[in-house]
Amino acid sequence: MYKYEGLLIHQNHDDDGIIEVVDEKGVRSLHFGSEPRQSSMLLSDPDRLELSYVRAMTSWLLFKPTLDDEALIIGLGGGSLTKHLLHHFSDCRLRVVEYRKGVVKVARSHFGLPLDPRLKIIIDDGGAYIRQRTESHAERYSLLLIDAFDHENMAASVANQDFFDACKALLKKDGLLVINLWGGDDNPLYAQCTHWLGCTFKQRTLFLPVQDRGNVIGFAFNEDAPFFTLKHLRQHAIALEQRYQIEFPTFLKDLKKYNARTFDQLILK
């Protein structure tokens, strides 16, 4: 059976709708009952980050040289970001919160998500999970990655001011939050999320529009995050591109281009 211009190789239903896996031209993609891809994997190179917005989310590496402690991920999808971290950072410890058990099963069966002692997956609502741990997990994580979408938009539980305040509480003082947003003038939720992030992190934020897509990746820096010079970041971006085969110099250029008001407050000349 063909769907979304590809071969449907798996389909199941849960209380939240359809979970589909489609192969097209050597790329395997996860769908939630609609055409937008929730995750994609190149079958010939499963460790390569196929989707441009996922590659853009790795721009946290511009501001943190490595990950040798704990990170929290909200939203698993096919597990692209999770696999990337496990593959490249041997000392990291990951906690992933995913709302749908069926998504976890598909990530393991069709997208190569490994069983790894450094990885703990929790079936829960991501927004509720974070809000309930502002004391028990205070200042625990150096990196917080949020990619929580349903088939229409951001999950409602992560789209509110209380959620972002709780995220800040869970981050270390020099921690960094990275979030996948859906931009555009036709999405009022995007404007609200950028406002909430700015309020929570006192405007220590940057936004990276993903070329040729509607995604915008938001970065929010906690109060003790280090300052960097633009010269250092340019050199670092070139080194990162050579190491990971990801377009970090382009990301840095776009961060400077689209954040005229806040870039100079966070990046020294």
Annotation says 150 is catalytic: no
Q: What's at 222, amino acid-wise?
A: N
> Which helix (DSSP H) or strand (DSSP E) does residue 234 occupy?
helix 230-244
CA distance 177 to 146: 8
CA distance 23 to 26: 7
User: Of 147, 150, 174, 212, which is the active-site residue?
Assistant: 147
Adjacent-strand bridge partners of 171: 141
Q: What's at 23, amino acid-wise?
A: D
CA distance 67 to 72: 12
C-beta separation of 59 from 217 below 8 A: yes
Q: Is the dihedral of CA 263, 268, 243, 61 positive or negative?
A: negative
Catalytic site residues?
147
